Amino acid sequence: MTTVLVVDDEPQIRRALRTTLEANGWEVRTVGTGEEGVLSVAGGAPDLLLLDLGLPDLDGTEVLRRIRSFSDVPVIVLSVRETQADKVAALDAGADDYVTKPFGVEELLARARAAMRRVQPEDANAPLLQYGDLEIDLARRLVSRADDQVHLTPTEYGLLEALVTNPGKLLTHQWLLRKVWGQGYGTETTYLRTYVRTLRKKLGDDAAAPELIVTEPGVGYRWVADATG
């Protein structure tokens, strides 16, 4: 059974989410503070985290940073904050998606299902890709550089997978958003810019002189590295 952890200081939101998620067959845990959220993830990793940003003790972005130091659990932020700056800050801190309150139940469920799909096991026959000292094991969803593991969030890995499995192709913003985030997306280019920037940093790719991911301004991105293995 899929386990969802809800971190929100509003009891009515926690109750509503518990009712909705349990009705869809998910096990639900709820806490009301950021510190409790960090400890709950550390004590028994959920399959999905729904996180409010306006918590009484810690800002949600700080909770995200702490959790990302030890866990790659998919995280969907639920917040009344709707400025681009807030969304970018949450994505930079490691969120996989961002839903503005008040939200529709069906929209939230669709985004939750999309987040869960990004962590499903791949085909056992998927290839092992090598690009110099960068190795991508698509079957085991593992990435390493010079034999050191590269820790990616589910969304970062989903973006990387979309790029490397379409080498040389120009992948548009809309195509990538729908492929990685789900069919309900297509215009959230801020998401892409944030994640491509983070992915490049983790892979050691210089945006000024890229060897892996090339930006096609106003259109999309292209994986240009040639496999060496």
Q: Which fold does the domain 3-117 belong to in CATH?
A: Rossmann fold (3.40.50)
* 3-state DSSP assignment of residue 207: coil
Res 123 pLDDT > 60? no
DSSP bridge partners of 129: 136
Alpha helices in 167-215 (DSSP H): 173-180, 189-203
What three-state secondary structure class fits 159? Answer: helix
What is the per-residue DSSP string for 56-107? SSSBHHHHHHHHHTT----EEEEES--SHHHHHHHHHHT-SEEEESS--HHH
Please give the average per-residue pLDDT across 96-111, as a whole number. Answer: 89
Three-state secondary-structure class, residue 116: helix
Number of Cβ atoms within 10 Å of the Cβ of 157: 23
DSSP, res 23: H
Residues 50-67 have pLDDT tens digits of 999 999 999 999 999 999
Structure tokens at 196: 């491509």
Residue range 128-223, CATH number: 1.10.10.10
* pLDDT average, residue stretch 192-208: 94
How large is the angle between the packed helices 34-43 and 60-68, nearest 10 degrees?
20
Average pLDDT, the chain: 91
Is the model more confident about 120 or about 208?
Answer: 208
Give the per-residue pLDDT at 126.
Answer: 65
Instruction: Specify the domain boundaries for CATH 1.10.10.10 within the chain.
Output: 128-223
Burial label, 41 (beta-carbon count in 10 A; 0-12, 13-18, 19+): buried
Region 199-213: what's the mean pLDDT? 95
Question: Strand pairing partners for 5?
Answer: 29, 49
Say how far apart CA 32 and CA 136 lie, in whole Å: 38
* Cα–Cα dist 8/37, whole Å: 9
* For residue 3, pLDDT beyond 90: yes
- Beta-carbon neighbour count of residue 73 at 10 Å? 21
Instruction: Give residue for tokens 């890229």.
Output: 210
Percent of the chain residues topping a pLDDT of 90: 64
pLDDT at 74: 92
The predicted model scores a pTM of: 0.74
Note the pLDDT tens digit of each residue in 12-32: 999 999 999 999 999 999 999
Q: What is the model's pLDDT at position 121?
A: 57
Q: What percent of the chain has pLDDT over 70?
A: 97
**Rg of the chain over all Cα atoms, to the nearest angstrom:** 18
- CATH 3.40.50.2300 residue window(s) in the chain: 3-117
Instruction: Note the pLDDT of residue 228.
Output: 77
| Contact by Cβ (8 Å): 82, 59 | no
Per-residue confidence at 183, pLDDT binned at 50, 70, 90? confident
